[in-house]
Structure formats: structure tokens, C-alpha cells
Structure 1
């Protein structure tokens, strides 16, 4: 019994020593591991650096940003989601028919496009831009989606809503839920087509992230890339040619979508997409007298003046945790899209969590990998433990848990 008590006291002493040493060592590791490195790979494909659109257009007598007539505008990299240009991008405005982007992608996701929809009296009564639906007409849901996106049919949107959700109001409720799920927090929709209505609004930023999401759907992206299409009716058997309202498809070859919008309250609006050399950019201009010119200039500037920097791929080893030797890997690919002139100023920073003790499981978050421009953190990706680690008696940090287990085991045996 005396021998067991002696062992317990020795273990308690060792435990206290290791705990104190480990606390000091862990704090030391946390501060010393922070460092900066240059980005190690640059590709052709950041949130903006806080520039002012009005004051950053001219640098050394040369234009650095395109001329834009829109009251609100944004240019976004589709791969990374990084903002390359913005002007009042979070200002709430009437979105007009750009609303139909959300209407269409929701219908594509929730319903079978081969379903036959019967046009209701409510859909028949909708005016302004239409595909000339009459009560009792029957046509496939997919034809209605094309009519909404290409010809901007307001009546088609009502028919889509009723076929997909049973009622127009229920479909609008689902639209708002979808918008929130995508991060469009400054939007509220009260109808499916964007006709003027109280409390119906969105922002350039929100429309950009909705469009970015929609363009990842191959059915949606194929529809909005068409210059013309044929809308076929089942009853009565007839068809009509629909020409895309998005004239950017004709004047800018890389353009591949997405939707126009025009009302007196909203002005001329455009959500545009273009793809070039493996990259896709999303542009939104709201209340823009020269909407197609604005979009073309912004998109061309984005392709010519920005690029994507790759800092690491998912699962790639970045460093090891000091004292433990645990490999730290990236949780996901880390890319940033930024102006070419600013690439040389990007830095990578590794910051480890402090006061961490084994055991660790593979996948545990042990730190962060930050990309910085000056003192500003632009993007962060967690650093994960690359393997399980239970600690070692030969390692002061790992010994903490080993000794604790021994003490508890001896205490139980001495009873």
C-alpha cells in the first residue's frame, strides 16, 4: 500500500510539472508560429481592397477601372465568389425581371420540367411582357421556364409558380427561403416576375450570388445562353419563336447569360455572365442607362485586369504543429481572385490555436491559414490535423494526458 501511495505521489508531481511546462510551451508555440510567406502559385482565373469607385479610376494618368453608368453595380468571380468591383452593391433596389432568375432556378430544382401545366385565369390576366398565355392552355413546365428567362414572360412566371407549388403565394414563400439559404439577406420578393410591388427589392450583391448559384445548374445555364428558342404548346398545338432580351449575347462573344429587367422604378437592369479561358465572371448593373455597355466594360476589365492566385489545394500539407509534429492540411482549396497589380502584395499567414492538448483526431481544427493584403485578412481556411495523435510520454505535451491516465488508474487500484 505504501508503494502504491509513493507511485501516486510521483505521478502527481510529474503531472503538475508537465502541466506547467506544457502551458508555457503551448503559449510559446502559438505566438512563434505566426509568419508570412509569399503566395506560391499564380493562375489565370478578393474581396475588393476597400477602394472607392469614384477615386480609384485614375492612377498615374491611366484608367484602372471601367466607366459605369449604373447606380448599383458589382463584378464577382464565379469560382471564388470574390468581389472584383462594386458600387453601392448592397443598396436595396427594385430588381424588375431579374427576379425571374430565382423563379426559374427554384422551378428547375423543385419540379419535373416535363410536367404539363394548365394555364390559370390568374396567369392569363398578367400583363406587360408576356408569352401570350390564355386560360386553359397546356404546355410543359420547361417551356414556361424558357419563356420566363428568354422572352421575360410575366405570365409564364405565374404559371410556373402555380404548377410547382400549388399557388403563387406559396411559391413566393419558397423563393424567399431559397434567397436566404444562398446568403441573399437583403432581398425580399412578393411576386415571381418582378412587376412593381411594395416591399419587393433586392441588391446587386444578392442578385450576383443568386445568379452565381443558378449558373452552376447546367439546365439553367443552357437556357440563358440561347439567343432564340421555340416555345411549344401542347394544347392548342402551336409554337412561337422567342428572342432573348439579353442583347449582350450579340455584342460580347464571351457572354453566356443571364437576365434583363426593366421597369420605371428599377430603370434598366442586367445580370450578366461571361466565360473566357476557363473563368466565369458575374456582373450586375441596376438602374443603368447603358446596361449592356456597362456589363461589357466590367466583364472585359475583369478578364484583363484580374487573376486567381492559388495558395493550396484541399488536403495539402501546409506545416506541422510545433511540439507535436502533427501535419496540418487545408480543409478546402484556397484561391483568391484579385487585380493583377495587387498579387505581389498578397501574403499567407499561419495562425495556430493555443492551449491545445492531445489527443487529436484527424480533421480536428488546429489553426487557420489566412490570406492577407497589407494588414487586412481577405480569406481564411481552417487548418486540420492530418492524422490521429494520442500523445507520447516522450513528448512533454503528449505526456500530459498519458500521465493523467496513469494517475487515475493508480488511484482506482489503490482503493
Structure 2
């Protein structure tokens, strides 16, 4: 039998999706499954975006330009300008989701065996993108006890080696909801300039910051023109996960030139999705204001219900719509599978994402889960109740 590649064997499973077969089996048995595992908002997609596709009159559904349509990229640049980020269309590559933008960025700046420093826990697919590119993730540990704050800069410097190519952050963070302050971005800027590294910032949740806190983009920081790479997406901002449209943005001409070659290999981003995404840029601010109010309300209810459960720790998110919860158990993977296979309350159970897959350090996060609070408040309240009852019944 022909053998599978070592790279393929090394690819990590998604902690968000690997339990899907167990969830589907539970549903086939008649068990209702409340999904806390995946960041698929139930917020309605802006009608203006859906109507743009519905009403478009095309005779040929053609390729777009490799870097995305000129008109769309010009409108994206205007969106950034509204957020005090000065870029032009030539500094933007439209990608098939933020995932492709990340893959292009890593492949453009790092060779096989190179290293990228990432504060952990981090978006689980960073492990997958790095493995696919043959790049090593070097983690900097942050802790639930201090709400996953940025580790001291000295911790980053200890890890920098001749193979280090970049520091990668998610701001606000998935899975922690942590929001980097202006001062923290400036500290990171200083270190990448000092050591001549790239600073890659995944900013797909920038619209969702809470408690009066503001998002500070890496592209606002003076002196980072050759160092900063921004990753963005329409998925969460407009509740358009299925559109699969993202952006890679950089003022570094060589980064854009190189990423464009990777983009040419996949031809072009999807045309219909660009039409919808371009229209979505005209979504009024009132849409985002209402969404933020809803997410704050959901977060506050979720935290209030979780802290009623004995023995758990929970970090309070400052942005995005996730939180990490530490449970009084030994192994969250085993617990999450048990929830789907063996437990229910009145015919319902919950599906969570074990948090071990959001770490690169072996053994960390094994008793933690990530919860996405993208459901109606009554569903969240019910889900936490089921989780509490499950912890009472569960035997390690």
C-alpha cells in the first residue's frame, strides 16, 4: 500500500470539528445537541450583502483578478481609512477566507524549519498552517489566572533564535477573547524592529471589543511598514462565514509580491462571494452597534452562569465571542466525547471544543474547553445548566 506523507500524518485534527461524528451520532439517536464548539454566529447576515448576490445580472460567472477585484479592494481600503488605517488597494490581496491569508503569509515569510512565536492558547488552525508549511510554532504561555494577558516581553526575547521569522498574534483573541492594548502592540513593535522580524496580526474580530475598550491595529503603529502583516476576514464581522473571503494586507511590497505568487497558484478568490462582501462594506454602523450589545449581553450571562458551577475557572473576554473555561476534570477530550455519547438532560446535551488543541505546549489546556457564545441567551443558559449537571455526574 502506498504510504501517506509525514506532513499529512503530522497534520493536527481540529479540536473544533473532530467531535462532529459523535455529535451526528447523538442526533441520530434523537438527542438534541447545543453547539458551543464552533464560532458560527447566529446573527443575521446583512441583507444588503445577500441582495447583492440575489440581484446580480451575470451571463458568465468568470474568474476575478488573482488579488481580488480592483473596485472591491479600493472599497476595502476606504473601510480601513474609516478605522484610521491608511492603506491602498495595491497593499491588499483578497483571499479565500482569512485562513488562506494566514497560509499565504506564513509561506511568504518562512522556510521549512523556520520558527514563529505565538502566545498560547491560540487559534487551533495556526498549528495546521505551520505544519503544512514545515514551520515550527514556538509558544509563549499565557495563563487563565491573569485573563491570558500578554506575557512579559522578556519571555519573547528568550525564545528568539536565528530561525525566528515572526511573532503572530490574534487581536482580539480566539480562543481567549483577550484584547491587546496599545502599549502591548508598541512593545511587540519594538521587539520585531529590534530583531528584524515580522509581526503578523490576525484582526478578524476587530469589530467586537467590549467594556469601552478600543482595538489598536498593528498597521496604526508607525515604523512597522516593513514588518506588519494584517490578516482579516468578512466571516465574523458580517456573519458571512460561508462566503470564505479574507484579506492579507501589508505595506511591505516584497510581502505582497510574494503572497501574490501563492495566490496565482490558486487562480482567484470566489466571484459571487466578492460581490456579497463588497456590498457588505456598506453595512451601517448601527448593525455593529446592535451586535456588540448582543454579544456583551451573551458574554455577561454566560460568565454569570458559569461561575455558579463549583470548581471551574473562566477568563472574562474583552473581545471576539469566545472564552476558555477550566473544568475540574482530568481530560477535556474524554469529557467532551462522553457528553455526546453518554449524557443528556431531558434529551439534550452540549458540544464543546476541548482546548488542548489550542496550545502547542504538550500537556497544557487538557482540562480546559473553549465556548463560543454565538447562541441566543436562553440556549446559552440551558447549555451551562447541562454542563453543570454533567460535571456532577462525570467520573474521570
- Give the TM-score normalised by the residue count of structure 1: 0.25
Q: Using CA pairs under 8 Å that are at least 6 residues apart, name the structure with larger relative contact order, 1 or 2.
A: 2
Q: Which one has the largest radius of gyration?
A: 1
Normalising by structure 2, what TM-score?
Answer: 0.26
Structure with the larger strand share: 1
